[in-house]
Structure 1
Amino acid sequence: MMEIAESDSALGYGKPPWMFKGSALYQLHLVKAETARAFIPKEFKLVEAFGYTLGGFFLANYEDSPAGIFDELVVIAGTVWNPPTSCAWAARVLVSSDKACAHGRKDVGLPSQVASFTKSVKAVSGTKRSRFGGFMNKIGMDNMQNAIDIQAKEMNNHTAMDICSISLTGSGQ
């Protein structure tokens, strides 16, 4: 672990803790321990039960941070034991800003890569009835939802490579 608190950030962020403000989605998944071990250094003990560990992804949009406005997708390989607690191990970190990438690599030790994020939001009509007895229908909100599509493409030598596509549908209420 780096002794960051002793000195200022290499990028002028100052001493931690750094403040990041925005919105995020954290999706947890069971990951086969055998798969997760390929991304975790041998010196760390994988937290596992019945051949699985807890992994997933973290998708964030930062509206204010030391690196400015940026998007981030973190793929969590699994959970490792880091006494006195455990922590998620980032197998892949994609960010939409060169400054955020440099901060992740130099100040935090993350495997950050620059990526292009594309987002589209659209209202979608549905047929699902609300449990509120038609009240939401009367005000025109019973069958409306927002669909959000997000694509992340890793940038490598001015070439974009598709990494993931995420579709989210949430209630418009």
Structure 2
Amino acid sequence: MTTSLPTETFDYPIAPWSLQGTALISFHVVDIAAMQHFLPAMLEILPIFPGKTLGGIYLSSYGEGSVLSYNELIVFCGLVRYGDRISTWVTHIYVDHPQSVAGGRNIWGLPKQLASFRWGQGDHPQVTVFQAGGQLCHFSYRWRLPGIPTPIPAFAGAFSWLQSQVMWFSVQGSVKTHWLMEAAIEVPDTSPFASLNFTHPIMAFGLEDLTLCVQQPTPL
């Protein structure tokens, strides 16, 4: 478990960050034995089955109307609790904008790294994420069910780790949601999060007209 992150010299927007775009999210059953070494010791792992917790992958593209335009891959390894708060724990984040890396690390204590993204549309929508020429993951789906025609409110909270301190921040917004059918996740053995064994998602969603406001974190 990394207890500190190198500081970045790039300028970056101050919090809160407003983001608008689209996203894909998948949920997976994760072995607790495979994810617990990613956690600070004070976090309690919450199982959904004996020896299993809930993790996932979030892929997004933020554009017009956002504080920064960038793509993002978030890997969360499982459900955890600290005090009276419950959320997921983020093990890896990749973006394609250096200001997003700097802001994520210095404001929120999130372990952002640079990567490249390739989105494909058409009959088989997909996205592939690369770093240093190697593939990190590939997300694809066959089709989606019709979603709610108007955006619905969205709220989430998340933990992070900054200066040896557990932090908490909230995310508010709205989104249109579609259930994705025949979603597939490919994570090569060389990927840094391959040990989480994200293969067959138990469910996956497409998020459209996504509007988020990511708040300044506070220590717990």
Q: Same fold (TM over 0.5)?
A: yes
Amino acid at match of 2:130: K
Deviations 1:120-161 (A, max 9, x none): 212xxxxxxxxxxxxxxxxxxxxxxx311211012xxxx322
Structure 1: segments with no counterpart, 5+ residues: 1-9, 123-145
Is 1:53 the counterpart of 2:53 in the alignment? Answer: yes
1:96 aligns to 2:96 (yes or no): yes
Is 2:130 aligned against 1:153? yes
SS in 2 for 1:101: helix
* Structure 2 counterpart of 1:125: none
Q: Is 1:41 the equivalent of 2:18?
A: no
3-state SS of paired residue (1:20)? strand
How far apart, CA to CA, are the structure 1 residues paired with 2:138 and 2:102? 24
User: Does 2:169 correspond to 1:168?
Assistant: no
Q: Name the CA distance, whole Å, in 2 between partners of 1:51 and 1:119.
A: 35
Could you say which residue in structure 2 is the equivalent of 1:23?
22
CA distance in 2, matches of 1:108, 1:27: 23
Taking a change above 3 Å as real, the CA distance of residues 172 and 54 of structure 1, as seen in their structure-2 partners, is: closer
**How big is the shift at 1:116?**
0.4
| CA shift for structure 1 position 166 | 1.4
Deviation at 1:38, TM superposition (A): 1.8
What are the ranges of 5 or more consecutive residues in structure 2 without an aligned counterpart?
1-9, 147-220
Query: How far apart are 1:11 and its partner, in Å?
Result: 4.1
Mapping of 1:62-101 within 5 angstroms?
A: 62-63=62-63, 64-66=65-67, 68-101=68-101
Query: What do you get for the CA RMSD once the two structures are aligned?
Result: 2.0
Tell me the TM-score normalized by structure 1: 0.71
Number of equivalences: 135
Q: Which protein is bigger by CA-based radius of gyration? A: 1
SS of residue matched to 2:119? strand
Whole-angstrom CA distance in 1 between matches of 2:82 and 2:42: 11
Any residues of structure 2 matched to 1:116-131 within 5 Å, and which?
116-122=116-122
Normalising by structure 2, we get a TM-score of 0.56
